[in-house]
Structure 1
């Protein structure tokens, strides 16, 4: 799906009437370097990629996070997870990315959502209605 199509889908989802009359809480997440998440404004956070991935790995390895076989993109997510690697440079810097030519959009989407649900701002831990 192209980026404009993705954005239109998000706009359409946000514009849907909500089941219980609550307004969705939209939070801006900027993926950064560093070691800790920081808040920038009322609903904007800078979250290190390493923190996102470490949280994802911890919940995956503990069995708390599993991929539903019936999920639409289950196979694509599994492929992305296989291609997603941690690399440590000669200078000791850690980077996280999919192999060249592969995607990591689903991995990062899950990682961001999981961070929001487990470590993010408390207002974001309420059920999301999308």
Structure 2
């Protein structure tokens, strides 16, 4: 599970800038993605208990009052578990990871997202310093290690690019963070609030 904040701040005025001009006040810095929470839920926790735990997390500030998006990896939990979160009125955005290249809407208000797009975007954020992992997070070094150990391979028969964890390595925190970041940006760029948060359970 990952909670990521997407933050854009107003551009600092420069000498000679009329800061009362509306166009200047609307200018924002490039977004920064702050990983503020990472957690691995214990395997023995039942799905109903997971639903209640996530509900309690979403009821805490700043998730409660902020423009929060809750993404759920349907690839891992399936439609039946997704319906449990929907019945609890947590309004999950279903994300199904695919092996293709395109990101598309599904029939339930969620998305089919290509793994190559998920991981490629996250690695770009990581290597450009735009992805910030809070130093106090116990799982932070594990996420950083997963990012470093995720390898791109090219299929010999099709030439398609794919991403997978190296042999013996995990990728659950990486994919949770990747889906959170993808959910905040979406399949195409648009207009965003200055601060948003996304949380994901896998």
With normalisation by structure 2, the TM-score equals: 0.53
How do 1:5-84 and structure 2 match up within 5 A? Answer: 5=45, 7=47, 8-15=49-56, 17=59, 19-20=64-65, 24-84=90-150
CA–CA separation in structure 1 for the residues paired with 2:182 and 2:198: 17
How far 1:97 sits from its partner (Å)?
A: 0.7
Runs of 4+ aligned structure 1 residues displaced above 6 Å come to none
Q: Identify, as 1 or 2, the structure richer in helix.
A: 1
Corresponding position of 2:43? 3
Gaps of 5+ in 1: none
How far 1:78 sits from its partner (Å)?
A: 1.5
Aligned length: 129
Gaps of 5+ in 2: 1-40, 68-88
Contact 2:123–2:147 at 8 Å: present in 1 too? Answer: no
Alignment RMSD (CA, Å): 3.1
Contact 2:95–2:111 at 8 Å: present in 1 too? Answer: yes
1:118 to 182, 185, 190: 185
CA–CA separation in structure 2 for the residues paired with 1:129 and 1:84: 22
Contact 1:32–1:49 at 8 Å: present in 2 too? Answer: yes
Corresponding position of 1:109? 176
CA–CA separation in structure 1 for the residues paired with 2:198 and 2:131: 20
With normalisation by structure 1, the TM-score equals: 0.78
Q: Aligned pair in 2 of structure 1 residues 129, 51: CA closer, same or farther (>3 Å)?
A: closer
User: Is the counterpart of residue 89 in structure 1 residue 155 in structure 2?
Assistant: yes
How far 1:34 sits from its partner (Å)?
A: 1.8
Larger Rg: 2
> Which structure's relative contact order is higher, taking Cα pairs within 8 Å and 6+ residues apart?
2
